[in-house]
């Protein structure tokens, strides 16, 4: 009797590796060092990668280097570089005419336009034209950035028509992005919502409405390393936990939030400051508070007047 045959060796199918441009975009999105071009990348693919890398790294105020020889890709890169030069003649027309076939072109346009909005160069009309141009093109990363940017500004300006338009345009790919903004639109003008917060530096928990924090303006931003920000007396500071995995129903801090809360308490006590610690991401996102920084403004009755979030928030309250 022959011994049983060993089972056949089944080799796992190789996990497909992301394309080089995808890996670069993912690294950019996570703030990680950008990968260099793989040595096997040759010809037009290598040129497209160089253009994307230039778009991700050029100093805003400068121009990304055009790696393309004469042809359609070169024409697209040069149209983008013309648009990005100081004082272009007609920004609206240039935006409308700009070809956006290359991920590098879209990324460069995103980085440049974001700076124009921050610096006050773009008014509402140009800002929406820039957002809409990116919303109509790939890659999905810059489309997502543009959607978030547009939604933050629609919320800041109480522009429900813009919100509805964006929801219609991006219904098939925007995913859950709209949910939190929809909640915040519903809260505008109404009573202050409540959060489970821990006092700092005392580190005792309380369920508090935003109008019970002792200020008309609430600044929501992680503390980060370095000196604590100087805030005006009419600003209360909520510091979200870095991970945010605290159970929102619990009255005891989990080990991770406990450690972070104690570190924050030490820093604030040393500086003679007070703040509030928000250890639950779920509790924050329940209200739609997902993109930092966030400036919440209350009216005279303590109702929610404005929410300036993410791309529409000021650099400092």
d(CA 198, CA 196): 7
Which residues contact residue 108 at a Cβ distance below 8 angstroms, ignoring those fewer than 6 apart? 54, 55, 58, 64, 80, 84
pLDDT per position as a tens digit, 208-240: 999 999 999 999 999 988 899 889 989 999 999
Q: Supply the CATH classification number for the domain 194-312.
A: 3.40.30
Q: What is the pLDDT of residue 9?
A: 39
Residue 126 confidence (pLDDT): 94
Helix and strand numbers (H, E) in the chain are 11, 7
- Count CB neighbours of 195 within 10 A: 23
Q: Which residues of the chain have pLDDT under 70?
A: 1-18, 87-89
Domain boundaries, the chain: 20-174, 194-312
- Determine the pLDDT at residue 88: 58
Contacts of 149-153 with CB under 8 Å at 24 or more apart are 149/114, 149/117, 149/310, 149/311, 149/312, 151/177, 151/178, 151/181, 152/291, 152/308, 152/309, 152/310, 152/311, 152/312, 152/313, 153/127, 153/311, 153/312
Closest CA to 246 of 307, 297, 195, 312: 195
Locate 292 and state its tokens: 């930092």
Contact 315, 237 (CB under 8 A): no
pLDDT reported for residue 91: 86
Q: How far is 218 from 216, CA to CA, in rounded Å?
A: 7
237 burial via Cβ count (<10 Å: 0-12, 13-18, 19+): buried
* pLDDT for position 90: 81
Q: What are phi and psi of 188, to 5 degrees?
A: -60, 130
By the 8 A CB rule, do 241 and 281 touch? yes
Residue 87 has what pLDDT? 66
Beta strands, E only, the chain: 194-200, 205-209, 217-220, 235-240, 275-278, 294-298, 304-309
Indicate the pTM of the whole model: 0.91
User: CA 26, CA 195: separation in Å to the nearest integer?
Assistant: 33
pLDDT given at position 60: 86
């Amino acid at each position: 009797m022959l011994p049983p045959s060993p089972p056949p060796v089944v080799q796992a199918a190789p996990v497909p590796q992301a394309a080089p441009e995808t890996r670069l975009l993912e690294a950019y999105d996570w703030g990680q060092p950008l990968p260099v071009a793989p040595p096997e990348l040759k010809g037009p693919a290598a040129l497209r990668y160089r253009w994307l890398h230039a778009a991700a790294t050029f100093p805003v105020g400068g121009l990304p280097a055009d790696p393309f020889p004469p042809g359609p890709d070169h024409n697209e890169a040069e149209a983008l570089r013309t648009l990005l030069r100081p004082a272009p003649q007609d920004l609206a027309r240039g935006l409308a005419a700009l070809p956006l076939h290359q991920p590098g072109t879209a990324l460069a346009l995103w980085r440049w336009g974001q700076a124009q909005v921050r610096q006050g160069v773009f008014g509402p009309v140009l800002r929406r034209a820039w957002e809409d141009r990116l919303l109509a093109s790939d890659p999905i990363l810059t489309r997502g950035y543009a959607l978030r940017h547009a939604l933050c500004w629609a919320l800041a300006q109480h522009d429900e028509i813009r919100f509805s338009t964006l929801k219609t345009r991006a219904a098939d790919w925007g995913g859950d992005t709209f949910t939190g903004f929809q909640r915040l639109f519903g809260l505008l003008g109404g009573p202050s919502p409540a959060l489970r917060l821990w006092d700092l530096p005392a580190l005792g928990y309380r369920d508090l409405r935003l109008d019970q924090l002792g200020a008309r303006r609430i600044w929501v931003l992680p503390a980060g390393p370095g000196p604590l920000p100087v805030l005006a007396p009419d600003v209360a500071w909520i510091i979200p936990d870095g991970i945010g995995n605290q159970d929102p129903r619990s009255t005891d801090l989990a080990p991770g939030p406990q450690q972070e809360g104690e570190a924050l308490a030490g820093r604030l006590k040393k500086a003679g400051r007070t703040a509030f610690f928000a250890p639950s991401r779920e509790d924050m996102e329940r209200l739609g508070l997902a993109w930092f920084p966030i400036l919440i403004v209350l009216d005279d009755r303590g109702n929610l007047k404005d929410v300036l979030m993410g791309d529409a928030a000021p650099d400092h309250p």
